[in-house]
Structures are given as structure tokens and as C-alpha cells.
Amino acid sequence: MLHLDLPEDGVIRQSRFRLQGWYAAKEAKIPDELLLGGRSFSFSPVVRSDVEAAHTGMRATGFGLTLHLSEIIDRIPDEGLRMELRTNGRELEGLTLSVTEEARKSAESGVAAWKEKQAWVRSHIRCSVCRTDKSLVIGEDVIRCPECETDFDQHFRAANLLAPDLDLPPRVHDSTAVSMHDYDDIARSLIEEIRAQGGMVLDCGAGLREVCDPCVVTTEIFDFPTTDVLAVNEALPFPDNTFDAALSLNVLEHVTDPSRCAQELERVVKPGGRMYCVAAFLQPEHDYPGHFFNMTRTGLRKLFSRSTVVDSQFVPTSGHPIWTLQWFLRLYLEGLPEDERKRFSKMSIEEVVERPIEEWLGDDIVMSLSQGRQFPIASTTALIMKAGTPGSS
């Protein structure tokens, strides 16, 4: 038995979409491969106890992948997109998804825009290792720096300028934490302004975008279908004063050196160019590929040099405190045993905030929350350490 949770009616309406569901059978056959249009996608299967409870005697496995039609644009027949679940190379079950004409055209135009941008990208990229101003030697399989002779392997779809010795996590297809937010009104307005001027915008740490825009160059550490250049934010592979504007949207908390990233943004944007940055303040830990630093409004401003002129500083709609309240409470409730979760969820806001903390610290609603569950939403965290040998790493 194969069931789709998303898309709910089996119709793909956007070029970027979520494919999520479950497979249940009496035999212990666990799917390990998903085919879409004949192309194989890996995923991490999860036990669906809710399905097993509803279907006695069956074992259920859940799956979830975030995909983009541009990955399979040449594999979509008119009659629909075939999806299959397999185990050990043998088909378990399949179904056919419908693809709207709008979604298909969006993916096709995105592929065309991406190809068009690659010529611009390859004429503007520079070595991310030695930072030379010399143009790179562009080959089909390798991009070479003529100064430090670093070879950047090009077996990716995007132009790869990641230093060869970087240790990066693999792309996880089924991670729900992969950034795939849409641009807000401010970002869209900025892009349109630069487009009208015939300029280019850098989207630094873009994640998986819905569309591929001809005037927006995206960088990422994962080779998403909408990624133009593989690069880390601390070492952007572009000359000084390359872009007319830059976006850094919900990225700076995920880098190991946000100050260096801010310096790089300033370096590659032309004097007087606009920069739009959004960064986490009161957000739970969301560790993919890493979550290192949250920052106050003062901290965010401190990352950039004094020569940077601040037009405005504000809380965007996507960062309204209601997100903080709901996100923290949801994670807290999910971490409690069922009895305590029910009791806590029935309390009023007044009951929660008026009760003295000293009393809360003796309540099972507090004491039953494990350390593992506390970390993502903790008020503080602590380290006890021993000093290492000087000079060691």
C-alpha cells in the first residue's frame, strides 16, 4: 500500500515541491530507493507508527524528499510523472503524479536561465584559495587557478569553487531543514530594481530556490538545481565590486565566521550597492548543516564595517516574535511525555508566566524534559573544559 501525504492530490503545481508519504505491507520489505521519472533518489526511511496503528499487522515506512522539477525536466511525459518505490532494485509499488503546465514551464525557464548565467559566472569567478585577481582556466572537468595551481573538480552541475580540502556534510535529500524559503517583498523589490538597471544580485547561501532568476547569482555549499556557484560565504570566489546588490537571508547563524562573511559581502558589492541581511536572534537550534551563532540587532550591525551606511533596521514579518513563541512552545511540548504534554498544553499563558520559576523547577513538566530536548531551546548552555597543549588544534 503506497500513500502520498504531499502533494495531497498527487498534482505537482510548483517547480520546487515536497514528496512525502508512506509504504505499508505485511512483509518486512523496507524501501531504500525512490524513482521519479526513472531517476533514482536516495532517502532515509522512517518508521510510521501512526500508520501501523491504523493498519494492524502491517509494517509502515515513511519517506520525504524536497525536489525540483528541473532535476528531471527531460523525464516528464505528457501522461504524468511515474514514481516508484524499490528495495534491493525490485519495485514494490508505484503511482503516477500529474504536473501542471505552469510548473513545467517554470522549471523549463529556470533551466534556460541557469544555462544563460553560467557564461556570466565563468567569466567572473576567481580562486577561493589564493584570492588572485587572475582569471581561472576553465575546463570541462576541472577549473584551475593559474596562480596557486589549485584544481577545482567540476563533476557538479554548478561551478565548483569549494577548496578541495573542505570537509562538508553531504546533501540530504529528505531533510526538512534544507532552506527553501521564498523571497520576501523587500528582496523581490531589490531584485527587480537591480534587474531594471541591468545589474546582478548575489544571493549568498541561497538554499533551494523556487525559480532560477537570470539576474541573481546563487551560492551554496550544496549542488541544488538552482545553485550557480559552490562556495563558502567566508571566501566568495568573485573579484571586488562585482555585484550591484547582495542578499544574505537567514544564513549568518549557519556559518563559523559571520564577521568574515560580512566582510566578504562588503567586498564583492560595488560602492553604494545595497545589502539585505536577515539573521537569527531568538530561534531554536536548527542544525543543518550547522547552527553556530544567533545575534542581537546590535550584534548583526557590529559584523559590518563602520563605512557601511545603515538605511534601516527592523524586524521582518518572517521574524515576528509570534514565530519565536510558537516555535519554542511546540518544541517543548514535543519533548514531553504524553501525560505531561497534555497537562502543559491545557495551561493558560497566565498560568505559565505567573508561576515562579522556583516552583516550575520541581514540576514534571520541567524535570521530564531530557537534556537532548533542552539543548535546541535552552536559555543558556555551558561548557566545562581542560586547556589543550599550546599550538595544538
Position 235 scores a pLDDT of 95
pLDDT value of position 10 = 94
Q: What is the 3-state secondary structure (H, E, C) of 281-343?
A: CCCCCCCCCCCCCCCCHHHHHHCCCCCCCCCCCCCCHHHCHHHHHHHHHHHHHHCCCHHHHHH
CA distance 291 to 310: 26
Domain 105-319: give its CATH code.
3.40.50
* Stretch 232-252: mean pLDDT: 96
152, β-bridge pairs: 143
Q: What pLDDT, on the 0 to 100 scale, is given for residue 298?
A: 96
**Half-sphere exposure at residue 244, Cβ-oriented, CA atoms within 13 angstroms:** 14
Q: Do 158 and 228 touch, CB atoms closer than 8 A?
A: yes
Question: Nearest CA to 173 among 223, 107, 220, 114?
Answer: 223
Q: β-strand 142-144 against 46-47: which pairing, if any?
A: unpaired
**pLDDT tens digit string along 345-380?**
999 999 999 999 999 999 999 999 999 999 999 998
The pLDDT value given to residue 24: 92
Q: Which of 105-109, 118-122, 176-180 has the lowest mean pLDDT?
A: 176-180
- For residue 249, pLDDT beyond 50: yes
**If you search the block for the grid coordinates 589564493, which residue do you land on?**
130
pLDDT more than 90, % of the chain: 79
Predicted confidence (pLDDT) at residue 121 exceeds the cutoff of 50:
yes
pLDDT band at 386 (very low <50, low <70, confident <90, very high): confident
Place of cell 510558537: 326
Cis ω for the linkage preceding 289 (within 30 of 0): yes
Q: Identify which has the larger pLDDT, 137 or 167.
A: 137
Q: Structural domain boundaries of the chain?
A: 2-99, 105-319, 321-377
Rounded-to-integer distance, Cα 44 and Cα 175, Å: 9
Q: How confident is the model at residue 139 (pLDDT cuts 50, 70, 90)?
A: very high
DSSP assignments along 229-295, one per residue: EE--GGG--S-TT-EEEEEEES-GGGSS-HHHHHHHHHHHEEEEEEEEEE--SS-----SS------
Where is average pLDDT lowest: 41-45, 81-85, 315-319?
41-45
Query: Which residue in 240, 328, 239 sits closest to 281, CA to CA?
Result: 328
**For residue 175, is pLDDT > 70?**
no
**Any idea which fold 2-99 has?**
Immunoglobulin-like (2.60.40)
> Are the CB atoms for 55 and 28 separated by under 8 Å?
no
Any idea which residue has 516552583 for its cell? 359
Q: Identify the pLDDT of residue 392.
A: 63
In terms of pLDDT, which residue wins out, 168 or 83?
Answer: 83
| pTM (predicted TM-score) | 0.90
